[in-house]
Structure 1
């Protein structure tokens, strides 16, 4: 990891030196067709237009600037300017971010969007700024489900003992430990290879990510667990952000919000239609025993409520629990 990060930093430093000071680097880890990829291109278009063409944006997709953790490091260091990142990676820097992913907190993305667009989102942004990052907004990364190499897992008993990949997110790890599996974090860009080589029995992701990364071609059994919601925080380096005048800051916020509306809707529409698409491509789906999964993961709430009692309660209230 350390060697890879040095390579990324050297590459991005060279790129930053090759462009003018009014060119912005926006990096992310998704491939063409994914809503995050499309929204990043839209963000670049909107930001440039808002600045009257004075600023342009170079979009670096598909983890070409490193994985999510490395992109956050580069943003903090001022090597890149903005990253459409992941909840799990950001939670390593701002632990409170991980609480968005409490098990079964949100039953639909729209509820999560409303919460993150309000006071909770402002609180999380304040915490991120203490760590050298500015949250411009929260895009969507969907409700997550489990896919397996050889079987569906409709009950916690079915998933027990499974080797499962999670994002680098302690909340996800805690959920799958509570379910009796052997979870291990791995960057998303490395996931297909790890699955093909047999390192894991399965993984968990929203359907959009599973499909765009062709993970459904490897893990052909999907159980609709709906165990966790995750966002896509759009994060700027605080040094870059603080150096912008008010008009440019407004451009960045407006671009994030407008591109985010499109990204959220695209993510939802893709997710809603993907079951039929993947079934047509040979994937077997199963419904999960919701009550059994909720009961099995209840200890996760108890553990996090000890560390963040007020925020856990605020999230539960905002989510209608």
Structure 2
């Protein structure tokens, strides 16, 4: 796969970001079976059909083109054109997107989607364009839960001193520091090896990511903490985007929305479907004391309300808090 992609890079004119080529690259970090993978393939199908075959899409899954941060850099540089990326990695470029991960912000997924599809999403897109990226829309990365190699963590005290992997996202680090854990960021592609070698006691992810990456086989104790929400921003390099005609731009936005509706529903259905499946494969589940977790992470709101007072207030209002 990587050889094929590099051959594409050698022949495409898109590296300049100034013209539309016959073939573009849509890169992401998810493995086969993940809703992000399914949606990326659907996006390619829809976009190719919409452009009447004038532009086709080479989908590069499983971090073939680098981790999320590297893919964002590649999109800005015009090395790839599209990426279904992560909220954590993008927060390093657009810090405001990290506010979507405030602990226990959204009561359910439809609420999160409504917020992202409104003014908040437009605000994040405007900030992204200042950094050389264009947001086509927001897919879903679900509500996150904690998995551990040897125990459940129903109470915040159970996390004390826990070595937990987080994405490269300051919000997540802040949440687990407030809970008394010892968090450290690491690229998702490196997580299984780090867990197996004992670098971490556990990690946090949506169930669908835990299952599709077989992390439940290494950390078979999962606590349904639901501590934060994460989106999957679908972004393109602004230079490439600016070189497209209006009809092709419309095809890209429409493909993102249509594939996104399917992807969001897959994520929404995944928890209920996966719990019995994972239990049958040896996973032990536990419920978290949400009231205690919310109380323990209140200081995270204080920090970001001081840093982004208007945005945090607007988010809380939009989320109905």
Which bin holds the TM-score, normalised by the shorter protein? over 0.9
User: Equivalent residue for 1:176?
Assistant: 176
Contact 1:12 1:79 in 2 (8 A): no
User: What's the CA shift for 1:159?
Assistant: 0.8
User: What's the CA shift for 1:272?
Assistant: 1.9
The correspondence of residues 1-321 of structure 1 with structure 2, limited to 5 A, is: 15-19=8-12, 21-321=21-321
Unpaired segments ≥5 residues, structure 1: 1-7
User: What's the CA shift for 1:19?
Assistant: 4.2
User: What's the CA shift for 1:271?
Assistant: 2.0
Unpaired segments ≥5 residues, structure 2: 14-20
User: What's the CA shift for 1:11?
Assistant: 9.4
User: What's the CA shift for 1:14?
Assistant: 5.0
Task: Give the Cα separation in 1 of the matches to 2:154 and 2:108.
Answer: 20
Cα displacement string for residues 267-319 of structure 1 (whole angstroms, at most 9, x for unaligned residues): 11122211111111110000000010000000000000111111101111111
Cα displacement string for residues 217-264 of structure 1 (whole angstroms, at most 9, x for unaligned residues): 000100000000000000100000011111010000000000000000
Q: Which moved more, 1:270-279 or 1:306-315?
A: 270-279
4+ long deviations beyond 4 Å: 10-14
Contact 1:84 1:232 in 2 (8 A): yes
Q: Which moved more, 1:271-280 or 1:194-203?
A: 271-280
Task: Give the Cα separation in 2 of the matches to 1:124 and 1:66.
Answer: 24
Q: How many residues align?
A: 313
TM-score (norm 2): 0.95
Contact 1:13 1:79 in 2 (8 A): no
User: Equivalent residue for 1:3?
Assistant: none
User: Equivalent residue for 1:4?
Assistant: none
Cα displacement string for residues 186-209 of structure 1 (whole angstroms, at most 9, x for unaligned residues): 011110110000000000000000
Task: Give the Cα separation in 2 of the matches to 1:17 and 1:112.
Answer: 40
Contact 1:144 1:229 in 2 (8 A): yes
User: Equivalent residue for 2:17?
Assistant: none
